[in-house]
Structure 1
Amino acid sequence: MTVRTVPARALAAAGAVAVLLAGLVGCASAEDDKDPEHRSFSLPGKTLTIDSDDSALEIVAGGRAADGRIEVTRWFSGSVTLGKDPEVSWRMTDDRLVLRMRCSGVIADCSARHRIEVPRGVAVTVLDDDGSVRASGFRDPLNIRTKDGSLHVTDSTGPLELRTDDGSVRAEVSSRRVDARTGDGSVRLTLGAVPDRVRARSGDGSVSVTVPEAAYKLTTSTGDGSVRADVRRDDASPHVLDVRTEDGSITVRTAN
């Protein structure tokens, strides 16, 4: 396991501490790291689980990754006053990539971002406690779950399962099977190929699904909001769209 420690930022005087405590603190950005770290990890099989506690993630199928290895780049910026120095760590255990950040103190301000390049032919599961997730280029199954953060998937054809407790879900893909859900946020799906099954759910937010011209078995439901559905319907169709929200509008349309 590799651990990177960043020295705590010292304040010049006690008065400065009082000013910072009274003000709003939270300006760290991983983009401030102009010298990101890079590491290659061996992958023993054809599945990968990415386990992250507090980081924005960008996951790409292909790129520099070769069979049996994944490539990870890490950006980190952070400082802690009156607490332990912040730390970030990464390790690979079997087929599980574990990414961790420790940042706590009276004034703690940290930000991390990871870009993970995965070989083609690998099914990926992402478990992220707090952070946005972007993914692209997947032909194989992709399963993303985050407790707090937005999800955005592009340029993919493999089956997708997307979950967030709090955040928006967006996908511009040609996947045949898509299951997208959020507890609080909007869902926007644009399909480039006629799907076999799409499930789109929001607990609190609008849901929009755009699909190619075809006949669909369509189910819609909203607790509070309008429904606009402009696709051709056929209850015997093998192409199923199931679109629901508890509070928000629903739009299902055919791509122009």
Structure 2
Amino acid sequence: MTATARTTSPTRRSRPVRAPALVLAGAAVVLGAALSACGASAADDDEPEHRAFDLPGASLTVDSDDSALEIVASDEQPEGEITVTRWFQGTVAIGSDPKVTWSMDGDRLVLREHCSGVVADCSAKHRVVVPRGVAVTVESDDGSVRADGFRDALSVRTKDGSVRVTDTSGPLELRSGDGSVRAEVSSRTVRAHSGDGSMHLVLTAVPDRVESRSGDGSTTIDLPRGAYRVDTSTGDGAEDVSVPHDDSSSHVVTARTGDGKLTVRTAN
């Protein structure tokens, strides 16, 4: 058949084209079926996995490449140990089976998702519970981060994802490359940065220092009643600063926005 195909007349030269056409048609069916199943959600995992890891010291780094994270400090968590719960859903139409891995390297918890192929659709979420008295650093490439209950230092950095922090009183540093930042805390020191996303900081106790910077997005800072040394600027946006000013105050608020409204006000 191959030799015949090479010597056929022009009227029969279309025959070899049919095989690629059939392949393409088959691929379209496979891709269509895969696309119809898109929208994987870790919330659909009814049987999450649980694992405990030993924590050798009083600090923890959570290193995640592609997962929603929830980090909780709890009095009920045993000292020297963290507990991780993992939810995962994933499909790959053409390629290796998707999977997630977790491991502990010293005081670094490493969370990885392996999901690649022609049509890959995966979703992962991790909940990490740490004992009180542990300082936590979160380094996330892609995924939202929520944190709650910290009395010690907390640092959260995500390249792509929102950040939410509540019920926290320790020193706080928040950074999102692309995503909103929200915090309702009683921390005395707060540093927050968003490259592209709105920011809302609610301080429930008079802070010593608040520093915020937003490249593109509105910023709102709610402060307890009191007088503050305030330094604000915005490249393209309105400013509404209504807290009482005192240039000699030890309570300092610095806020910068590149493009977006800036509001510093007394909380109701």
Kindly indicate which of the two structures has a greater share of residues assigned to helix: 2
The residue number in structure 1 matching 2:251 is 239
Amino acid at match of 1:131: G
The residue number in structure 1 matching 2:123 is 111
The alpha-carbon distance between structure 1 residues 18 and 70, as it changes in their structure 2 partners (threshold 3 A), is closer
SS at match of 1:233: coil
The alpha-carbon distance between structure 1 residues 92 and 18, as it changes in their structure 2 partners (threshold 3 A), is closer
Amino acid at match of 2:195: G
Does 1:171 pair with 2:178?
no
Q: Write the distance in 2 (CA, Å) between the matches of 1:228 and 1:89.
A: 47
The residue number in structure 2 matching 1:214 is 226
Q: Which has the larger radius of gyration?
A: 2
Q: 1:229 aligns with which of 215, 228, 241?
A: 241
Does 1:67 pair with 2:79?
yes
Q: 1:125 aligns with which of 137, 143, 148?
A: 137
The residue number in structure 2 matching 1:249 is 261
Query: CA contact under 8 A between 2:31 and 2:119: conserved in structure 1?
Result: no
The alpha-carbon distance between structure 1 residues 76 and 63, as it changes in their structure 2 partners (threshold 3 A), is farther
The alpha-carbon distance between structure 1 residues 136 and 59, as it changes in their structure 2 partners (threshold 3 A), is same
The residue number in structure 1 matching 2:212 is 200
The residue number in structure 2 matching 1:6 is none
Shift of 1:16: 2.6
Shift of 1:65: 1.9
Amino acid at match of 1:46: A
Q: Write the distance in 2 (CA, Å) between the matches of 1:59 and 1:233.
A: 36
TM-score between both structures, scaled by the size of structure 1: 0.92
Aligned residues: 243
Q: 1:17 aligns with which of 25, 30, 33?
A: 30
Query: CA contact under 8 A between 2:31 and 2:93: conserved in structure 1?
Result: no
The residue number in structure 2 matching 1:30 is 42
Query: CA contact under 8 A between 1:46 and 1:121: conserved in structure 2?
Result: yes
Runs of 4+ with deviation above 4 angstroms: none
The residue number in structure 2 matching 1:10 is none
SS at match of 1:31: helix
Query: CA contact under 8 A between 1:64 and 1:117: conserved in structure 2?
Result: no
Kindly indicate which of the two structures has a greater share of residues assigned to strand: 1
Q: Write the distance in 2 (CA, Å) between the matches of 1:86 and 1:130.
A: 17
Q: Which has the higher contact order (CA 8 A, sep 6+)?
A: 1
The alignment-based identity, stated in percent, is 63
Consecutive unaligned residues in structure 1, runs of 5 or more: 1-12
Q: What is the root-mean-square deviation in Å for CA atoms of aligned residues?
A: 1.3
Does 1:180 pair with 2:192?
yes
SS at match of 2:78: coil
SS at match of 1:77: strand
Q: Write the distance in 1 (CA, Å) between the matches of 2:201 and 2:216.
A: 16
